[in-house]
Amino acid sequence: MTNDPLARAVALSCFTAPESAEAVSGGITNLNVKVRDQGRDWLVRLGDDIPVHGVMRWNELSISRAAHAAGIAPAVYHQEPGALVLEFLTAETYTEMDVANPANLPKIIDLVKRCHTEMPAHLRGPILTFWVFHVLRDYAATLRADGSPHTPHLNELLITAAKLEQAVGAVTLVLGHNDLLAANILDDGERLWLIDWEYGGFNSPLFDLGGLATNNGLTEVQERLMLENYFESPSADTLWHSYTAMKCASLMRETMWSMVSEIHSEIDFDYSVYTAENLARLEAALADFRNV
């Protein structure tokens, strides 16, 4: 990526006479720029492939187009190496409190389920699979190879991951978003939108549900209601066991993602603090899982 993202954004071939460009906060694996061209606003996402995180921009492009076709995400306007230009949405970005709000949560669950069940019909070409336990093993190998200060803890993490994978058991594949942070949910006052598809791929629905819970501080009562709403039936003990295991795996992935980013990311973000925050969440979730 260029050292001047604003200049990079306005120089894209899709723009005729850019009137303004301003940085948009929020990205921790890419840079976002709002460009106004011929009276319309566009969001430019600047970012190359990130193989160490399994982020491949051709995959993000395909899934972004499918998400728009399903009515879940804004339209793709233009793409070229290192840049994706999307329709700019005038909408509120959710916070963790917004996601946990009982008035919002059912709508979010419905949006996630639509992602899982409706988007596959709109997909074209090859699409990645996101299996969190492979991701964890690969992250561990990367951290070891690069001399991470977290290396002494990797054996214990991988032993725990293997137990969690066994506890998850058989899965049903859906098209997952796989990064359900509050900031990836937008509300324009009439509908919700789901953005940022760089980690999208086929996965168990439990990963998105677990990520939604852990990233946004849902209570156990809310989690059980989430499962009942999503699966349209009371949550059985076996489902709850699988779900809590996947929830822990989701937190472990976020923790190790941050560990790897401490070494590899050039984005101005305090990854070491983020690692510590997620490690604390993981330890609490594992304690609950062991009591299930």
HSE-CB of 155 using CA atoms within 13 angstroms: 1
Shared domain check, 97 and 83: no
Rounded CA separation 35/23 (Å): 9
**Which amino acid, one-letter code, is at 153?**
H
Check pLDDT > 50 for residue 2.
no
Would you say 127 and 177 are in contact if contact means Cβ atoms under 8 Å apart? no
- The per-residue pLDDT for range 21-55, each reduced to its tens digit, is 999 987 677 899 999 999 999 999 999 999 999 99
Choose one of 35, 56, 87: the last residue of a domain.
Answer: 87
The reply to whether 234 and 283 lie within a common domain is yes
Q: Are residues 218 and 263 in the same domain?
A: yes
Q: Tell me the C-alpha distance between 61 and 82, whole Å.
A: 11
pTM assigned to the model: 0.94
Domain boundary (63, 87, 111) is at 87
| 57/153 same-domain check | no
State pLDDT tens for residues 59-110. 999 999 999 999 999 999 999 999 999 999 999 999 999 999 999 999 999 9
What's the CA gap between 222 and 102, in Å, rounded?
8
What's the CA gap between 20 and 210, in Å, rounded?
40
Q: Does 43 share its domain with 100?
A: no
Asked if residue 74 and residue 99 are part of one domain, the reply reads no
User: Could you say which DSSP state residue 70 is in?
Assistant: T
Tell me which amino acid residue 259 is.
Answer: M
Would the CA dihedral through 164, 167, 171, 176 be positive or negative? negative
- Number of domains forming the structure of the chain: 2
Domain hosting residue 20, numbered range: 5-87
Mean pLDDT of the 138-162 span? 97
The closest alpha carbon to 208, from 97, 69, 111, 66, belongs to: 111
Distance between CA 193 and CA 34 in Å, rounded?
A: 18
At 159-215, the pLDDT tens digits run 999 999 999 999 999 999 999 999 999 999 999 999 999 999 999 999 999 999 999
At 3 the pLDDT is: 67
Same-domain status, 76 and 99:
no
Check whether residue 14 and residue 149 sit in a common domain.
no
**pLDDT digits 0-9 by tens, 217-268:** 999 999 999 999 999 988 789 999 999 999 999 999 999 999 999 999 888 7
Q: What is the CATH number of the domain that holds 47?
A: 3.30.200.20
Single out the residue in 87, 113, 143 at which a domain terminates: 87
Same-domain pairing of 63 and 162: no
**Do 150 and 68 share a structural domain?**
no
